[in-house]
Amino acid sequence: MTAKLIDGKALAKKILTETRDAISARKQQGLRPPSLAVILVGDDQASHIYVRNKRLACEETGIQSVYHPLSANTTEKAIIELIQQCNAEPTIDGILLQLPLPRHIDSNKLLELIHPAKDVDGFHPYNLGRLAQRRPLLRPCTPYGVMTLLDSIQETYKNRHAVIIGASNIVGRPMSLELLLAGSTVTVCHRFTKNINFFVSQADILVSAVGKPGIIKGTWIKPGATVIDVGINRLADGSIIGDIEFGVACENAAWITPVPGGVGPMTTAILMKNTLIAASNFTIHHAHESENPSFY
């Protein structure tokens, strides 16, 4: 068996094009384009690359990007004030606080300060809670991107065992909620899990989000499985690989995402889609705010 590749680049391009067209339609209706406030703290090289790519995607889709680069020694109080300003500004639809933050800053505290209606990363407890209750609104970008990839190959979820490697708040935990919502039987493996190879071998759908190169051996993959590699790991020679031993995994899997070119482009595309959703919800909310004073 030779696995078919799931092309994240092509699907992300399609989503960006659809988002751009929807924003053009908004403008023709006399509505302002969506806007995204991007807060970057410090000099982390990878974060700067991610933010640059997100701002380029904003430019491509017609989303207005409001950039706030801050030095690594910026105080937590100053960032709190900036988030509060962005929350209060009606022309800002989405707020992106780029992670990781410097050690002296409590990222959980700041993420929870972002208004849920502007939480386009989908990290706020309100939005995660909605997902857990099977009533999703703004969904975490990477897991939502993975589900979009799976839908693109007409993946079936019911009566399928989905195994997730990694339990972070950003990918692993919301990924489990997404697959549970779709009807899969879900197992989450983490650093306290023994015999991970056993669980991998049972997976009809495997999602690895660990961030350790080659931690999942290709021989563990169940024949015919769908394999999603969220890991992005840069080696000493500059090359980028995922968590999964790609070459050998391709011999067993039916479908697999490449690294790079799989999940990565989808995360940015979904961020743009979420920003458009946030802008649309803002418009609806203000049209009916006297009737419905909720977050949305």
Active-site positions read: 54, 98, 121
DSSP code string of 190-223: -TT-S-HHHHHHT-SEEEE----TT-B-GGGSPT
Query: CA gyration radius for the chain?
Result: 19
Query: Where are the strands (E) in the chain, listed by range?
Result: 4-5, 35-41, 64-70, 94-97, 161-165, 185-189, 205-208, 226-229, 233-234, 240-241, 255-256
Q: How far apart are CA 123 and CA 171, in angstroms?
A: 10
Q: How far apart are CA 158 and CA 37, in angstroms?
A: 38
Q: How far apart are CA 231 and CA 184, in angstroms?
A: 22
